[in-house]
């Protein structure tokens, strides 16, 4: 009961912000279709999950006062929270009956909706790390590639399992391991301990493309049943 009460209090406190975001939705009608779909997914995630707004605010402010040597710890915490939203976006169509059929009937079909959910998860991760990236811009290529791979994994595991728990459990387990084991650079896919190499970023982008392709195939096969 207490967590639900807290959620209601936060929802009321953040209501002006969510109403402001809701007013932006009609303006997306004038944007190109792919950008409109991406913007709608991102805005709907923030509107329906007010805690994501609070997370963004904390993500922007908290790292500003952190010592340079401890910023990676804040980054790990921010990414752990991001995993919740990425898991929800990855499983959104699987958890809501009829959504896949509806998406297939819309312009661009289910493929565009898949890409828009991928883009929304990826962009939300970058937005959450904006303060960190402003202080350490050299992390951007590695972090962007890692977030792309993780977002694609959320979609793929959401399609395979029909829920969000598979991705969330694996993501949090990986994050726990990489926080504890700092000397294994090949495990650091989200630039927690440095920018890494261009080869690793390229491999992560390739993994993201493969994950999206597999998720698209699963979505099509599911829609044909």
Question: What per-residue confidence (pLDDT) applies to 117?
Answer: 93
Per-domain residue ranges for the chain? Answer: 2-223
Where does the pLDDT of residue 214 fall: very low under 50, low under 70, confident under 90, or very high at 90 and above? Answer: very high
| Side-chain-facing half-sphere of 209: CA atoms under 13 Å | 6
Residues 6+ apart with CB under 8 A from 51: 7, 10
Please list the helix, strand and coil fractions of the chain in percent, rounded to the nearest 5, in that order.
85, 0, 15
Could you report the per-residue pLDDT of 40-66, keeping only the tens digit for each?
A: 888 888 888 878 888 888 888 877 777
Where does the pLDDT of residue 98 fall: very low under 50, low under 70, confident under 90, or very high at 90 and above? Answer: very low
Question: What per-residue confidence (pLDDT) applies to 102?
Answer: 43
Q: Are 49 and 85 in contact (CB under 8 A)?
A: yes
Determine whether 149 is exposed, middle or buried from the number of CB atoms within 10 Å of its CB (0-12, 13-18, 19+).
Answer: buried
Could you report the per-residue pLDDT of 70-95, keeping only the tens digit for each?
A: 778 888 999 999 999 899 888 876 65
User: Taking CA 179 as the corner, what is the angle to CA 119 and CA 122, rounded to the nearest 5 degrees?
Assistant: 5
pTM: 0.86
Question: What per-residue confidence (pLDDT) applies to 21?
Answer: 87
Could you report the per-residue pLDDT of 147-191, keeping only the tens digit for each?
A: 999 999 999 999 999 889 999 999 999 999 999 988 888 889 999
203 or 25: whose pLDDT is higher?
203
């Amino acid at each position: 009961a207490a967590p639900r009460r807290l959620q209601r209090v936060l929802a009321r406190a953040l209501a002006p912000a969510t109403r402001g975001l809701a007013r932006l939705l009609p303006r997306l009608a004038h944007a190109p279709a792919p950008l409109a779909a991406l913007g709608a997914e991102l805005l709907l995630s923030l509107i329906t999950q007010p805690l994501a707004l609070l997370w963004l605010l904390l993500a922007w402010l908290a790292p500003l006062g952190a010592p340079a040597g401890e910023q990676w710890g804040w980054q790990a915490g921010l990414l752990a929270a991001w995993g919740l939203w990425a898991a929800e976006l990855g499983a959104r169509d699987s958890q809501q009956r009829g959504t896949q059929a509806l998406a297939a009937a819309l312009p661009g079909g289910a493929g565009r909706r898949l890409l828009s959910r991928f883009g929304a998860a990826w962009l939300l991760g970058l937005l959450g790390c904006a303060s960190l990236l402003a202080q350490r811009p050299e992390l951007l290529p590695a972090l962007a590639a890692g977030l792309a791979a993780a977002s694609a994994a959320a979609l793929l595991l959401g399609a395979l399992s029909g829920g969000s728990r598979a991705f969330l459990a694996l993501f949090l387990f990986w994050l726990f391991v990489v926080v504890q084991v700092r000397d294994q650079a090949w495990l650091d896919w989200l630039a927690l301990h440095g920018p890494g190499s261009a080869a690793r970023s390229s491999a992560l982008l390739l993994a993201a493309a493969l994950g999206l392709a597999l998720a698209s195939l699963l979505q099509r096969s599911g829609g044909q049943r």
